Structure 1
């Protein structure tokens, strides 16, 4: 697949502005106990790159706010940017990589690529995280509103864990609502046996052996992780096909269908820097014997330091479904991650049975909703209402199951609409 980049999108990441546009606007300051906090908004990535790359090395900060992850999205989507750079006494304190999207008449400032991020933290220095709780919440709100008010009506930061790796999030004092979904993690030990010990280890091993036997009876399989870029891109295209079929069967809209979305994931494959910092790597189960060469399951992983995140997965229902190749692939990538020194395997946001079977940690997420202008107040109220409704539905198993059945049935009729 050839990636098509928009000229105006590329300009956001270039070192020189197009048409002589200003690189920064919206400057504001606040005197706090620790000193002077200065905020600046950049409308291009390049001016903030040096500080950006410095902050992203901190293991506490999410890989989804990393420079390469954000640049891949910016160069394929082209939304206006509003990157908030905070400096305390002249030293870099934090960076909020934001893009502006218009929803009806409301301009929303949100994390770049937030439609495809499993958890968001922003980028904060360890020193700022230690003193952030001492900043008066109302003063911080007014500072952000003054800084971003010319760019957006609402600051909407979704999927933010307020408690992460033993630290409280610096923005936890801003107006927020708990997200209807949590994320799920599995701590990793040096070996697979130690990793599954807190789970039902005996049942886990029995299921794994049964899956392997079923596949070997049909000719065998191999766990592949393509090395060449061309092989990775071919496997990614296979994922898009499998996922499209899965969504269609379930009566769901295909969130991976847009050409710019597919181009984004293709670009992530091009930024593998090796070591323990990988934006996206693909793993799959390829069958042998009667299904020679066919791909039964695929998963996409990201890794930053000791933290591995499962970004997506797919299966081909027509290939050895009785052997649960998707579940088997999770075993294999979890084992590989443990042996390679990772300490946390993250299944991402969303409550599903298979995640609960694997995970011992459930992490609550919150959505920060800070109105910046009058139009933002109504949008924040609407977001809260929708979130509460989703939480209510998901908290009622019978109602949730009914809605899932209706949605699946709707996908089989010509009258069904994706938004239903």
Structure 2
């Protein structure tokens, strides 16, 4: 019987000794350390993320709150560090989950962040040869025990001086696109992204909203005021999910507690809420996480009141955000995966994101192959209007039959994809 390519890859990992490989290729030697305790890697983690991150999922304080809120057992937490010349070059923090009989290591927050990636010393990783980078990821893979497959969802393609940093990291499946607005000022963003027609359209929508009453916009940081407004945001999101006929991921109590914990004073996670009100009532908002000169938008919401929709409160809120954040010194506003009108209007960076699979066992190879096939099918459905309409109708029917539209049915595990 013919063996799959994925199965052969696993045999390769279990065969030739690393010392033989290093001698043959002149490769450099990596040392790997692994632990179930976050405290053991905290200094390394903070050192590698001091200047910049690609996702809040790379923030140790963000992940610490996630672990606490969801009660993730220490035995299911995996932290692996690769050292080169006795200095850390890469850190991978993962959570073990059971998925359809397979033990899967994946990102802690799953789809609750727009993308995620290994935490690396970018300059030193870029300086390695492609063979050395491949061997680095293989050594990291070898270090995992008690798992069948590593699944790294939505890793952005990071190209530094022509080098694709994660090109050698396991088996790759093209996934989606990450959208970012990167400017030095609002004037630059306005000049680059808006033409005369776009400005006129935005102004007309603003006039319509202003005609309905008093419009105000504010930015809130960590503290009681933000906690109070978060409740409105989740109510607006819940209404949207009901209209779509899909499960509300924020309805899980532990998930709600996580977001509340990030917004509390001294949480260690700098939260920014951008809130637009009409006659004192919240009509649109955005939940953002700050790191250095980057701002990551994780959640946006808008009132479902049909009487105000012609004023486009969501787009007007984003316009105010764009007018504000770059003047405050931020240089990147990350708006996450998936194309929307707002992202098309404002984002000048489109970054491919990819799923990375690293099977460890035969069972993991089969699980990875099945998961890739499922994602390819989803991509085909999304790209075909007829198939997409059929899938949406089927999903709505199934949810109504299961009673999940009113949150009465079974819920997926937090962070499950």
Q: Could you state the TM-score of these two structures normalised by the residue count of structure 2?
A: 0.84
Deviates more, 1:176-185 or 1:240-249: 176-185
Aligned residue for 2:296, secondary structure, equals strand
Q: Number of residues paired by the alignment?
A: 383
Q: Return closer, same or farther for 1:338/1:33 CA change in 2, 3 Å cut-off.
A: farther
Q: Residues 41 and 85 of structure 1 are in contact (CA less than 8 Å); yes or no, is this contact kept in structure 2?
A: yes
Q: Return closer, same or farther for 1:39/1:404 CA change in 2, 3 Å cut-off.
A: same
Q: Residues 93 and 124 of structure 1 are in contact (CA less than 8 Å); yes or no, is this contact kept in structure 2?
A: yes
Q: Residues of 1 paired with 2:265 and 2:29: CA distance?
A: 36
Q: Residues of 1 paired with 2:302 and 2:321: CA distance?
A: 15
Aligned residue for 2:37, secondary structure, equals coil
Aligned residue for 2:250, secondary structure, equals coil
- Is the aligned partner of 1:300 residue 2:287? yes
Listed one character per residue, the Cα deviations across residues 332-384 of structure 1 (whole Å, up to 9, x for unaligned) are 11111111122222210122333223323221111110101121011100111
> Aligned residue for 1:324?
312
Which of the residues 372, 377, 384 maps onto 1:389?
377
Q: Residues 106 and 153 of structure 1 are in contact (CA less than 8 Å); yes or no, is this contact kept in structure 2?
A: yes
Q: Return closer, same or farther for 1:169/1:101 CA change in 2, 3 Å cut-off.
A: farther
> Aligned residue for 1:206?
200
Q: Return closer, same or farther for 1:243/1:62 CA change in 2, 3 Å cut-off.
A: closer
Q: Residues 185 and 345 of structure 1 are in contact (CA less than 8 Å); yes or no, is this contact kept in structure 2?
A: yes
Which of the residues 91, 101, 109 maps onto 1:113?
109
Which one has a larger percent helix, Structure 1 or Structure 2? 2
- Superposed displacement of residue 137, structure 1: 6.1
- Superposed displacement of residue 179, structure 1: 3.9
- Is the aligned partner of 1:135 residue 2:131? yes
> Aligned residue for 1:357?
345
**What pairs up with 1:24-103 in 2 under 5 angstroms?**
33=26, 35-59=28-52, 61-79=54-72, 80-103=76-99
CA RMSD of superposed structures (Å): 2.7
- Superposed displacement of residue 398, structure 1: 3.9
Q: Return closer, same or farther for 1:122/1:175 CA change in 2, 3 Å cut-off.
A: closer
Aligned residue for 1:185, secondary structure, equals strand
- Superposed displacement of residue 273, structure 1: 8.2
Q: Residues 83 and 96 of structure 1 are in contact (CA less than 8 Å); yes or no, is this contact kept in structure 2?
A: yes
Aligned residue for 1:225, secondary structure, equals strand
Listed one character per residue, the Cα deviations across residues 229-265 of structure 1 (whole Å, up to 9, x for unaligned) are 1111111111111111110011011011111111111
> Aligned residue for 1:403?
391
Q: Residues 189 and 346 of structure 2 are in contact (CA less than 8 Å); yes or no, is this contact kept in structure 1?
A: no
> Aligned residue for 1:252?
246
Listed one character per residue, the Cα deviations across residues 19-54 of structure 1 (whole Å, up to 9, x for unaligned) are xxxxxxxxx987585743111111011011111111
Q: Residues 284 and 329 of structure 1 are in contact (CA less than 8 Å); yes or no, is this contact kept in structure 2?
A: yes
Q: Residues 295 and 334 of structure 2 are in contact (CA less than 8 Å); yes or no, is this contact kept in structure 1?
A: yes
Q: Residues of 1 paired with 2:36 and 2:80: CA distance?
A: 9
Q: Residues of 1 paired with 2:54 and 2:244: CA distance?
A: 35
- Superposed displacement of residue 194, structure 1: 2.3
Q: Return closer, same or farther for 1:272/1:334 CA change in 2, 3 Å cut-off.
A: farther
Aligned residue for 1:112, secondary structure, equals coil
Q: Residues of 2 paired with 1:46 and 1:295: CA distance?
A: 40
- Is the aligned partner of 1:262 residue 2:256? yes
Q: Return closer, same or farther for 1:294/1:45 CA change in 2, 3 Å cut-off.
A: same
Q: Residues of 1 paired with 2:50 and 2:18: CA distance?
A: 26
> Aligned residue for 1:286?
277
Point out where structure 1 has 5 or more consecutive residues left out of the alignment. 1-27
- Is the aligned partner of 1:124 residue 2:120? yes
Q: Residues 107 and 152 of structure 1 are in contact (CA less than 8 Å); yes or no, is this contact kept in structure 2?
A: yes
> Aligned residue for 1:9?
none
Q: Residues of 2 paired with 1:58 and 1:294: CA distance?
A: 38
Kindly indicate whether structure 1 or structure 2 has the higher relative contact order, using CA contacts under 8 Å at least 6 residues apart. 2
> Aligned residue for 1:20?
none
- Is the aligned partner of 1:371 residue 2:362? no
Q: Residues of 1 paired with 2:177 and 2:215: CA distance?
A: 34
Which of the residues 211, 235, 238 maps onto 1:241?
235
> Aligned residue for 1:335?
323
Deviates more, 1:398-407 or 1:80-89: 398-407
Point out where structure 2 has 5 or more consecutive residues left out of the alignment. 1-16, 406-410, 413-417
Q: Residues of 1 paired with 2:367 and 2:187: CA distance?
A: 49
